[in-house]
Structure 1
Amino acid sequence: MFGFLDVPVSGAYHLIHWLTPLPAVLAIVLFTLSVRLLLHPFARAAARGERARAALMPEIKALQTKHGRDRERLAAEMTKLQQETGTSMFVGCLPMLAQLPFFMVMYRLFTTPAIGGEPNSLLGATLFGTPLGAHGLAGSPLVFVIAAGLAVVAWFSVRWQDRQRAAGAADVPGGKLLRLLPYGTVLATLVVPQAAGIYLLTTTAWSAAERAWLRRGA
């Protein structure tokens, strides 16, 4: 079903093996940090987009006041405003969307019995005695450690969003859903391999730190 991932999965597999004798969990963290460093330009673009939306906030509020009851007209006017100013309400989603292929590779890496015609030795890697390929509660107590870390990062992310709204930042489509999205990673730990959970914890912590750094003094 995901045969197109065979080549990148094989490449990631050999990369992690190249990083040995480092523990597999450290290799996963290094892999994740490398991905986020590669995608940093998307985060910078998202930060610029947020600043541009903040500058347009008076016009956006005027449109919401004028066309608030006509959702189709409001959507059309908002699209027109974005086209005229060269901004996008969805640019903030770029870092998350760009990560999806890498997350899928990590998921496959710790769920596939064989890679490149050879047994997948990574399935035997452990942390605190728990196989990194274990799913959900089968990875207890490691799953609770990862979930707790993700919950802390999600809490800080939501608080940052609340401060942005309090400061008058422009709302984006689906803003209420996006506010809850950080907590979705906590639920994800119940179904994904522990290796994927470690990826999520590392990448969400990076996102929180990166966001704070990019918005400093903004």
Structure 2
Amino acid sequence: MSVFSGFADVVDQLADALHPLFQGASVAVAIILFTMAVRLAVHPLSRAAARGQKARTKLAPQLADLRKKHAKNPEKLQKAMLELHKQEGVSPLSGCLPSLLQLPAFFLMYHLFSNQEIGGEANPLLGHTLGAAPLGGRFHDALADGGLFGAAGLVYVALFVLVAAVATFNYRRTKQQMATAPATGAETPPGMGAMLKFMPLMSFLTLFTVAVVPLAAALYVVTSTTWSAAERYFLYRDMPPTALAAAV
């Protein structure tokens, strides 16, 4: 049995358990619950990443001194910065782990709903829908089948509205954080200024992802993005925007 066949069986069994409550939407609900389980599993790493980012923020004055001291020697600067992180027990890469560990789950979902066959047999999950929209279909399929306000198109409209609401929340919160930046006293590292200007708009890129991936993968992305917004609000609410940029 391939990993994709095994994963399909897990989704199918979870959907069977949910069917009495959710009927035809049971597979879609199973995908949402699976996504939440993945995010819950990596939440301890997200908390550790937040603690690490707060520790790195406290190192900002020392890092600024190192940049001035080794401004003409990038290799020595890099070595000194790594040594400082090591001394303080802080990993510069810890914030990447939660995102990296979610990628296999997303690609499994993408592959599972992008192929007509799984393990040499017909893919049984492609026949399931969310409303009138097939979980293996894409936004352009919905547009071709009734248009934006057709039965399938309205499913995507609902997802776009949810993503836009989450992105707007992130945008406003980030702008508020940036507005208080002068009061933090934190020095902005070189190149961070451009990132801070672009960062409030990054959440809106999820709209493009939802539009091009299979609906099942889009459900994964929307659920994960909504979880991230809530998680980051509670874990990073007291941090300055420079730290938030590094945590994206």
Pick the aligned partner of 1:53 from 52, 56, 66.
56
The equivalent residue for 1:31 is 34
Q: Is the 8 A contact 1:151 1:183 kept in 2?
A: yes
Q: What one-letter code is carried by the residue in structure 2 that aligns with 1:199? A: Y
Q: Which of 213, 227, 230 is residue 206 of structure 1 equivalent to?
A: 227
* Aligned residues of 1:89 and 1:173 also touching (Cα < 8 A): no
Distance 1:201 1:83, change over 3 A: same
Structure whose CA Rg is larger: 2
SS state at 1:112 partner: coil
Could you list the runs of 5+ residues in structure 1 that have no partner in the other structure? none
Amino acid at match of 2:158: V
Alignment of structure 1 residues 1-218 onto 2, 5 Å:
4-21=3-20, 22=22, 23=25, 24-115=27-118, 118-140=121-143, 141=153, 142-161=155-174, 163=177, 166=181, 167=184, 176=195, 179=199, 181-215=202-236
Letter of the 1:122 counterpart: L
In proportion to residue count, which structure has more helix? Answer: 2
Which letter maps to 1:133? G
Task: Give distance in 1, aligned partners of 2:191 and 2:157.
Answer: 29
Normalised by the size of structure 2, how large is the TM-score? Answer: 0.72
RMSD: 3.1
- Equivalent AA in structure 2 for residue 153 of structure 1: V
Decide whether aligned partners of structure 1 residues 87 and 168 sit closer, same or farther in structure 2, where only a CA change above 3 A counts. Answer: farther
| Other structure's SS at 1:189 match | helix
- 1:4 Cα deviation from its structure 2 partner: 4.7
Provide closer, same or farther for how the CA distance between residues 126 and 17 of structure 1 changes in structure 2, counting only shifts above 3 A.
same
Contact 2:127 2:134 in 1 (8 A): yes
May I ask how many residue pairs the two structures share in their alignment?
A: 216
TM-score by length of 1: 0.81
Q: 1:124 to 1:6 in 2, by over 3 A?
A: closer
Cα distance, 1:32–1:71 mapped onto 2, change above 3 Å: same
